Structure 1
Amino acid sequence: MMTLATDDAGLDRLDASRVKLRDAAHFRAVIAANEAVARAQQDLRAAVLAAREAGESWTVIGAALDITRQAAQQRFGR
């Protein structure tokens, strides 16, 4: 016999007749923006790695990011 997982959030106790239904557009927009930030962070890491492999200094990378050489090295260094 299969057992269903319990609902720890309490959603199983909601009275659907009393719940105000709302459009989930804002929720989806927040998720999409968060995913875009994660992709941008991955792209930035890849760009910094490529710049370092091409011989760019931490000073140049820091200048491109408008941060100090030390901050760039701390954030992206190995």
Structure 2
Amino acid sequence: MKSDPRSSAEKWLDSFEPTQSPMKDGSHLRAIGDALTAVENAGDALERAVAEAHDAGDSWEAISVVLGTSRQAAHRKFAHRVAAAHVRRTRNPAQPE
């Protein structure tokens, strides 16, 4: 099983002894971790939104305009998510993503 880098960082920060380091505390490093989590969550939300838009009938051309990229680039970046969402719905249509 792959270890979660966030939990490893949390453990390290929790064990950190600030009196033995020039760093004042771990709050700035925690903020980096929180921001990274937000970026990852936003990426997941974007992939879901693109998959749902395409599934609803929006073309790659229309999706690419919103993304500010070419149709080909949008397809290359998100087609895997659209296909995976379709497979999940086909296997178990009653279960949400």
With the length of structure 2 as denominator, give the TM-score of the two structures: 0.60
Task: Work out the CA distance in 2 between the residues paired with 1:17 and 1:55.
Answer: 59
The one-character-per-residue Cα deviations of 1:32-73 (angstroms, maximum 9, x if unpaired) are 000000000000000000001100000011000000000000
Structure 1 position 19, deviation (Å): 3.1
C-alpha spacing 1:24/1:54, structure 2 compared with 1 (3 Å):
same
Task: Work out the CA distance in 1 between the residues paired with 2:19 and 2:58.
Answer: 62
Structure 2 stretches lacking a partner, 5+ long: 1-17, 81-97
Structure number with higher relative contact order (C-alpha < 8 Å, ≥ 6 residues apart): 2
Runs ≥4 residues deviating over 6 A:
none
SS in 2 for 1:22: coil
More helix by share: 2
Task: Work out the CA distance in 2 between the residues paired with 1:67 and 1:17.
Answer: 49
Residue 9 of structure 1 corresponds to which residue in structure 2? Answer: none
| 2:54 counterpart (42, 52, 55) | 52
Residue 11 of structure 1 corresponds to which residue in structure 2? Answer: none
Structure 1 stretches lacking a partner, 5+ long: 1-15
Q: Does 1:24 align with 2:26?
A: yes
| Number of positions where the alignment pairs a residue of Structure 1 with one of Structure 2 | 63
Paired-residue identity, %? 37
| 2:68 counterpart (66, 73, 77) | 66
Task: Work out the CA distance in 2 between the residues paired with 1:21 and 1:36.
Answer: 24
C-alpha spacing 1:22/1:53, structure 2 compared with 1 (3 Å):
same
